[in-house]
Amino acid sequence: MLNILLMIILLIIILIFIFLLLGIRLTVKWLKINDEYDGCVKILILKKLTVYTYNLKSDDNKDDKSGEKDKKRDFKKLYELAKPCFNDLKTFLKDAINAININRLENHLVIGFSNFAKTGEYIGYVWAISSILTGILPNSRLSAEPSFNGEVLNFKGQMNIDIYLLKLIIPTIKLILKKEIRELIKGVLNG
């Protein structure tokens, strides 16, 4: 009986380690045509099994004006709390960037203004930025198209991000163990 229990515990530990080693995949899709927009965020484990899905539609926000008042935050106080943490947060962000891999980035943009010259100028900026991003992210397909038929901003895209949780555990623990970071978290939560 004890052997079976130990085998089950060992199997659970191995499954947790595999989950941490493979990480999670975050899939984001977006679409905007004129005033209509649509979006979807999925969190997948083992790169196939959907754990959470959040859909965003353009008609969701029309009835969402409940009139809640946002809490006023004292940004000077938060800045004073965050000031001694900048180096620690910078180190954590470097480690977090190493734990994140962008597998796929696709976007198609249609942009147009009422002035032809302005459309040409801004499409040139977009093409320059997309060529830089394509050089940085080899798995990206970015395209842009000018529209000279009036003011238009439409886009469609998809992005897959792999987050390796095993690489994030140690930097997160190091970050949370610092007293200044815990004070910053308390200050943010308390307002």
Q: CA distances (Å), 188 to each of 89, 119, 177, 179, in order?
A: 15, 42, 17, 14
What pLDDT does 66 receive?
Answer: 47
Q: Could you tell me the pLDDT band of residue 137, with boundaries at 50, 70 and 90?
A: confident
Q: Could you tell me the pLDDT band of residue 187, with boundaries at 50, 70 and 90?
A: confident
What does the alpha-carbon distance between residue 58 and residue 54 come to, in Å, rounded to a whole number? 13
What pLDDT does 189 receive?
Answer: 85
Which residues make Cβ contacts (< 8 Å) with residue 166, sequence separation at least 6? 20, 21, 23
What does the alpha-carbon distance between residue 116 and residue 178 come to, in Å, rounded to a whole number? 55
What pLDDT does 75 receive?
Answer: 79
pLDDT, mean over the chain: 87
Residue 29 tokens, joined: 């899709």
What does the alpha-carbon distance between residue 131 and residue 125 come to, in Å, rounded to a whole number? 10
pLDDT in tens, 80-128: 888 888 999 999 999 999 999 999 999 999 999 988 999 999 999 999 9
What does the alpha-carbon distance between residue 11 and residue 19 come to, in Å, rounded to a whole number? 12
What does the alpha-carbon distance between residue 23 and residue 43 come to, in Å, rounded to a whole number? 11
Q: Could you tell me the pLDDT band of residue 31, with boundaries at 50, 70 and 90?
A: very high
What pLDDT does 70 receive?
Answer: 54
pTM: 0.72
What pLDDT does 93 receive?
Answer: 93
Is the pLDDT score of 67 beyond 60?
no
Average pLDDT over residues 46-70: 71
Supply the Cα-derived Rg of the chain in whole angstroms. 23
Percent of the chain predicted with pLDDT > 90 = 47
Is the pLDDT score of 63 beyond 80?
no
Q: How many CB atoms lie within 10 A of CB 166?
A: 14
